[in-house]
Copies of this chain bind each other. A is one copy, B any other.
Amino acid sequence: MTDRTPLDQLSADDLAAFLAKTQADYAALKDRGLKLDLTRGKPSAEQLDLSNGLLSLPTSTTDATGTDVRNYGGLEGLLGLRALFAELLGVEPQQVIAGGNSSLEMMHRTVTSLLLWGAAGVDAPWKDAGTVKFICPVPGYDRHFTLLADLGIEMVTVPMHEDGPDVEAVKALVADDPSVKGMWLVPTYANPTGSVCSVEVATALMSMPTAAPDFRILWDNAYALHHLTDVEVKSADALAIAAANGHPERPIVFASTSKITWAGAGVAMMAMSPVNKAWFLTHLGMASIGPDKVNQLRHLEFFGDAEGVRAHMRKHRDIIAPKFAAVQDALEGALSGLGVAEWTEPTGGYFVNLDVVDGTATRVVQLAKEAGISLTPAGSAFPHGLDPRDRNIRLAPTFPPLDQVETAMAGVATCVALAAAEKLSS
Docked-complex contact A262 and B70, CB < 8 angstroms? yes
B contact residues around A73 at 8 Å (CB) = 264
Contact with B along A274-306 (1 / 0, CB 8 A): 000000001100111111111100000000000
Contact of A71 among B48, B104, B151 (CB under 8 A): B48
Contact of A116 among B51, B52, B54, B115 (CB under 8 A): B115
Contact with B along A361-395 (1 / 0, CB 8 A): 00000000000000000000000000000000000
Number of copies: 2
Closest B residue to A108 by CB, please name it: B287
Contact of A265 among B40, B45, B288, B292 (CB under 8 A): B292
Residues of A within 8 A of B (CB-CB), count: 55
Docked-complex contact A101 and B70, CB < 8 angstroms? no
B contact residues around A318 at 8 Å (CB) = none
A288 to B103, CA, bound (A): 8
B contact residues around A283 at 8 Å (CB) = 150
B contact residues around A69 at 8 Å (CB) = 264-265
Contact of A287 among B40, B72, B104, B292 (CB under 8 A): B104
State which of A15-23, A55-63, A170-178 sits at the interface with chain B: A55-63
B contact residues around A112 at 8 Å (CB) = 112, 116
A147 contacts partner chain B, Cβ-Cβ < 8 Å: yes
B contact residues around A43 at 8 Å (CB) = 71
Contact of A288 among B51, B104, B290, B292 (CB under 8 A): B104
Docked-complex contact A291 and B71, CB < 8 angstroms? no
Docked-complex contact B288 and A102, CB < 8 angstroms? yes
Docked-complex contact B286 and A72, CB < 8 angstroms? no
Instruction: Give chain A interface residues in 286-344, CB to chain B under 8 Å.
Output: 286-295
Contact with B along A4-33 (1 / 0, CB 8 A): 000000000000000000000000000000
11 more contacts with CB within 8 A, not counting A55-B58, A292-B295, are: A40-B72, A45-B71, A48-B70, A100-B292, A102-B287, A102-B288, A109-B287, A112-B112, A150-B282, A150-B283, A265-B292
